[in-house]
Structure 1
Amino acid sequence: MKVIMTLRFLATGKMQQCTSDDLGPSQSTVSRVLNTTVAALTTPDIVRQFIDFPTDLQTIWQKQADFMRIAGFPAVVVTIDGTHVRIIAPTVNEETYINRKGFHSINVQVVFDANYKILDLVPKWPGSTYDARVLSQSGLNGLFEQNYVRPGCHLLGDSGYPLKHWLLTPYRRPQGEQPLNYNRAHKVTRAVVERGIGQLKRRFHFLHRDILHSPERACHIIMACGILHNICKVCNLPLLDDDDDDDENDNHGSGASGMPQIEGLRFQVSPLLCRQSQTEVYMEGPHLFDKNSAADHMETS
């Protein structure tokens, strides 16, 4: 019951869907259940199990081959972007959470492979933070800068990121056939991350709404959605509507396309949560999830 309440809330974004007669609990009960389930789902062991950036050659070669088939762009391992998840105005450092579009948000760094699996997720930065800064302070940056990922492996990012030997961005003013061809292939290939973010938000319409929690708790809930998204991918649970996949940060959509997936997802998630301590205590602080991301490779390798 706890699992299905949590999944229903994340899939619909509507508290009333979880307090209807078929389930019966009060809103305060649903809130406590959400806290407990999300805390159990976002323990470091679970995060590392389902969101993990590869460093072994065989996996990297396979991911490069998957991207190569899209538009012929060589040596791409993942695509990267930031997406904004709305939150209510926090009581501390409120102004730092106002993004360039004027609403309060968490700027979430997300990295997808060609099969729309999340390989790195950093849901902790205030909305005013630029994507490039989020990356520069992330464990993913350390993996590449310190050569934990072999040279010659590339991320694709948009022009908001700096050009690096491992991070390829488009030409700002392409002139000539080669730069134009490069930009065309880059655009088609990088579109994976935009569609991936769109899929994530379609599965969990909660991410389209203002999250009515502190930034710290919002970060945990976003991470839980990323883990559940990857579980859906592993279990081949499809998206059941035909809406456009592209990310729309301003979309307030509140549909329930994720609802038919709840039973299948519950079956996969329940055993994981049974192995975790059922605590309602959240980790607090601005360092949230730094060490639950790909940076773990640097600490444990």
Structure 2
Amino acid sequence: MARLIHRLYNERAFRRERVIRDRSNPLDLYNDEELIERFRFCRRDIYELVEELSPDLQYVSDHNAALTPALQLLIALRFYANGAFQNTVGDMINVHKSTACRAIRRVSLALSHRLPRSAHLPTEAESAVMKRRFRRASGIPGIVGCIDGTHVRIQAPSEHEYLYVNRKGYHSINVQIACDANYKIFNLVARWPGSTHDARILRESALYQDFEAGRVNGLLLGDSGYPLKHWLMTPIIAPRTEQERRYNTIHTTTRSLVERCIGVLKRRFHCLHGEMRMHPERVCTVIAACTVLHNICVTKMIPLPRQHHQPVPEEGVDPVDHAGHEDVGGRLVRTRIINAL
């Protein structure tokens, strides 16, 4: 018995005591401009996000000094904004790395659940507005949006590592993004490993089914990595006439809008610009969360921080292998557009 008591005493003596740190609240330290610089949202917008997300973030009790929804949101926003390690983000609020990691996870899940409401297909009224804007910009009638793929770099996963190596040689998640003329993302698919071809991601998506079924009245513009469909216009691989070359020029210029949208997304939330050291499933959740926040910024016209006022378009080149498949309806629609131009 004495030996047992002595052992328990030694274990308690060398056990690391749990310390509840004094936490700082950035909302008490920074003005609106500084908040946008660090968290991408001003004070009023942060309070609105806290109010909306509180049901998902509020702990049942304050046992063990649980983080408030506001502090959890600020930790996640800081991570999205600069992509720093969790311990660096935690130091801002003065919490441990594991606490910061849990906060980022909880906020990302809460935001990702709101993706269907944020990134929804355009309504008839919205489609009409987008068609007019694209028509004035390009001269091509009926366009409602542009589609493209982008890669978010990740750390090599422990399972099925080879599937995540893209054609540029690094590990990534291949993300499908479709946006309108206002840079608002109305379709996001973030679940495929980097080696997956853009055409397959589209073919397996709900967006493909909606356009094929005629639930959306309008055209999308995509690069040669996508198949030519009656609702998806792609460039001509080997143009032979002046009209076809002009169509390709206008197509490329107009489709660059989605590249700029991706550039704005990644520069507003820099965690998507570097390598994300998380499990691929968690990376996809963060991508969805950042998309929801991006659409909020577009709707509220929240400016980019000063050093990001002129985002560079997303780097990329046309796919090495084009989709190849061209249906008859797609060729007829494209020919009609070329003749009209």
In the other structure, the counterpart of 2:148 is 81
> What TM-score, normalized to structure 2?
0.69
Answer yes or no: is 1:111 the counterpart of 2:182.
Answer: no
Answer yes or no: is 1:190 the counterpart of 2:258.
Answer: no
Could you tell me which amino acid in structure 2 is paired with residue 107 of structure 1?
N
In the other structure, the counterpart of 2:206 is 139
In the other structure, the counterpart of 1:4 is 74
- Unaligned 5+ segments in structure 1 are 251-301
- Of 83, 93, 99, 1:23 maps to 93
Contact 2:199 2:225 in 1 (8 A): yes
Measure how far apart 1:179 and its partner are. Answer: 0.7
In the other structure, the counterpart of 1:230 is 295
Across the two proteins, how many residue pairs are aligned to each other? 244
> Residues of 1 paired with 2:89 and 2:239: CA distance?
52
Measure how far apart 1:99 and its partner are. Answer: 0.2
Query: Matches of residues 236-247 of structure 1 in structure 2 within 5 Å?
Result: 236-240=301-305, 241-247=308-314
Contact 1:194 1:245 in 2 (8 A): no
Answer yes or no: is 1:62 the counterpart of 2:129.
Answer: yes
Contact 1:155 1:168 in 2 (8 A): yes
> Residues of 2 paired with 1:229 and 1:134: CA distance?
22
> Residues of 1 paired with 2:316 and 2:115: CA distance?
24
Measure how far apart 1:249 and its partner are. Answer: 6.5
Answer yes or no: is 1:51 the counterpart of 2:116.
Answer: no
Identity %, equivalent residues: 45
Measure how far apart 1:28 and its partner are. Answer: 1.1
Q: Which moved more, 1:60-69 or 1:241-250?
A: 241-250
> Residues of 1 paired with 2:118 and 2:188: CA distance?
11
- Of 179, 189, 192, 2:244 maps to 179
In the other structure, the counterpart of 2:169 is 102
In the other structure, the counterpart of 2:36 is none
Q: 1:62-105, CA deviations, whole angstroms, 9 ceiling, x for partnerless residues?
A: 11112112222211111000000011111221111100001110
Measure how far apart 1:244 and its partner are. Answer: 3.7
Q: Greater share of helix residues, 1 or 2?
A: 2
Identify which of structures 1 and 2 has the higher relative contact order when contacts are C-alpha pairs closer than 8 Å and 6+ apart: 1
> Residues of 2 paired with 1:243 and 1:96: CA distance?
34
Q: 1:97-132, CA deviations, whole angstroms, 9 ceiling, x for partnerless residues?
A: 100001110000000101100000000000000101
- Of 23, 39, 49, 2:109 maps to 39
> Residues of 2 paired with 1:248 and 1:224: CA distance?
22
In the other structure, the counterpart of 2:20 is none
> Residues of 1 paired with 2:273 and 2:126: CA distance?
33
> What TM-score, normalized to structure 1?
0.78
In the other structure, the counterpart of 1:270 is none
> Residues of 2 paired with 1:9 and 1:219: CA distance?
15
Measure how far apart 1:57 and its partner are. Answer: 2.1
Alignment RMSD (CA, Å): 1.5
> Residues of 2 paired with 1:80 and 1:106: CA distance?
17
Larger Rg: 2
> Residues of 2 paired with 1:156 and 1:89: CA distance?
32
User: Which secondary structure state, in structure 1, belongs to the residue aligned with residue 93 of structure 2?
Assistant: coil
Contact 1:87 1:106 in 2 (8 A): yes
Q: Which moved more, 1:89-98 or 1:10-19?
A: 10-19
